[in-house]
Structure 1
Amino acid sequence: MFDRTTLGLLAATCMTALPAAAQEYSWTPDRPINIIVPWSAGGSTDQVTRVVAPIIEEALGTEVVVVNQPGASGSTGTAAALDAPRDGYTWTANAIANNATYAVTGLVEDTTIDDYHIYLHVANVPLVSVNADSEYQDFNALLEAMETGSVTVGTAGVNSSGGMALAAIREGSGTELEGARMITYDGGNPAVIAAASGEVVATTQLAVEQTEMIRAGRLRALTVLSDEALEVEGIDPVPPITDFIPDFEVAADYFGVFIPVGAPQEVYDTMDQVWEDHVMNSEALKTYATDRGAVFLPSYGDAALERAMPVVISEACARVTRGEAVLDPSEIGIDCPEEG
């Protein structure tokens, strides 16, 4: 038997264990929320979304389902999220530079970053790694082979972080790197596995997709696309690409969850508060970032957009430089700096 004091303590404990949504938030979902990840399972977007989804689920007291819908450099799933009813129950996840520039490349027409309410969580950096049995011991050796030899590079496609990283290396090196041949996969995880298995020589996908394979001794990291070395527990420090290409331009690659506009305002008000209350101080997300080589940087709304605009501008304008643009970025509110 319990006395009244014990019963009171149990009741208080149960009350605090109830989902916060019923007590704190203006929106209480009455069915599961779907987050469409437009890449295959195991890649960078999928990984971090599966860390964030349970945080949201616990806060709202409703199921949050991660749905992988890969294809066409992430544009298939993104279009599906935009085409879904604007009721607050279908979201998407991605690198913000992708959602902001799909229209520039024509992969998703008539869309801009203004089509979403933005919720960012981590920043990611690409790594250049080779199969552990590869002859290339440092980035200079690989770069020379990319210029004069034949190097297959696994990525998740031209619009993926790995594809954009390879394009940036081409630009930064000042050569076409005609010996580098990109092999595309449905996501970052398959691309990394291809490099680890020897199906391709190298990969330029994100650190979070590669760290486990590097720890396992199946990949050798040569450089990180950053101006600082990458230091992750269990891995030797990875030198920054600026050690090899001093004037290489670096812009942080921010990832997040995006809710299409048009839902009831209470959806966004609630998610703003959930982000503030739970995501921005999440120990689970901090641990993920530290373990995988990402940077814990949650933000939302205007602050998130301001933080991410350098990478949005960089990627949109790079599309023009590379001849990949079918739409001038200025038509969707992105002004490219004048050359010279």
Structure 2
Amino acid sequence: MSGRPLLNHRLDGLGTTIFAEMSALATTTGAINLGQGFPDTDGPESVREAAVRALRDGRGNQYPPGPGVPELRTAISDHQRRFYDLTFDPDTEVLVTAGATEAIAATMLALLEPEDEVIAFEPFYDSYAACIAMAGAKRVPLTLHAPSFRPDLDELRSKITPRTRLLLLNTPHNPTGTVLTIEEQSAIAALAVEHDLLVVTDEVYEHLVYEGTHHPIAALPGMRERTVSISSAGKAFSFTGWKVGWVMADAPLVAAVRTAKQYLTYVSSGPFQYAIAEALHLPDAYFDNLRADHRRKRDLLSDGLRAAGFKVFQPAGTYFITTDIRPLGESDGFAFCRALPERAGVVAIPNAVFYDHREEGAPFVRFAFCKRTEVLEEAAKRLKAAW
């Protein structure tokens, strides 16, 4: 065998994710896992029963249609019209994927050429870096600085070059919890139109906004034809293991993404697609209660973290709270998180994994609050006792 490295050089530094490492630590130490963002309870019973019914009725047990089952594509279209007054043709402008992660991967692979530049807000979800790398493109981070974690729009303008192909947005933003305002999105949209850029927007936390309002950038002038909107069912319905996501865009953009997607998973989540079609038609009260429940959990854990000595950056959305560990006399988030399970019986994630500029995120640590109340209370108790 030659001395050539086995791993493609584009994926250098993208080995085992920190989520796998931290979850393994939680298992071996018996610590409370507030690292990975998944709920510890299932979503609505009616939705779970819809999946069982689909299994029993033989719907989706074989390959579903490549773009997704018609019932789900129609439900996604109805959802966008209901909440945002956006119209998408379910036959040509909606594509079902294996979660938002595959949607992002297929979109990057479809729309990018080697050496294209992608501007993404840093810190960014780790799959963004991997997907951009696999497409052979170059990521250009725009750092969101503490304490506000808001984008500097003048800096954004300065980072646009002739090689810039697209802007990759995430609102509500993981891990900071920032929700972009309509004014910020309008300014970003104006730059996209001015420079003829594509925009890819990850909106998986759209129903988990606690302050402000979620505004899809696709609804803004000049954006419908240049925006790929991505979302999923996992965060909205607490069935993250079902991996049902979707892409919404003008027909030519969806056709491009579908070309890449069909060679990744081809299809997935057959019976679950029918269940999520029903879930998307749940009444407004469901989404209101989901948001209220998570706001309460956010506040509970935020108070507990402050009581333990952390500086808390209160998130406006998502599942996550970013904290500063320097008030505890710490500055290295990696070392802190690796020691935390033994010290306090709690697992968290070092935010530095979400940065290209690791030093920017070094003192920050992320906790997930999408857990049962008693779990959050126990975690807060353990953390306070450890300092």
Structures share a fold, TM > 0.5? no
Instruction: With the length of structure 1 as denominator, give the TM-score of the two structures.
Output: 0.28
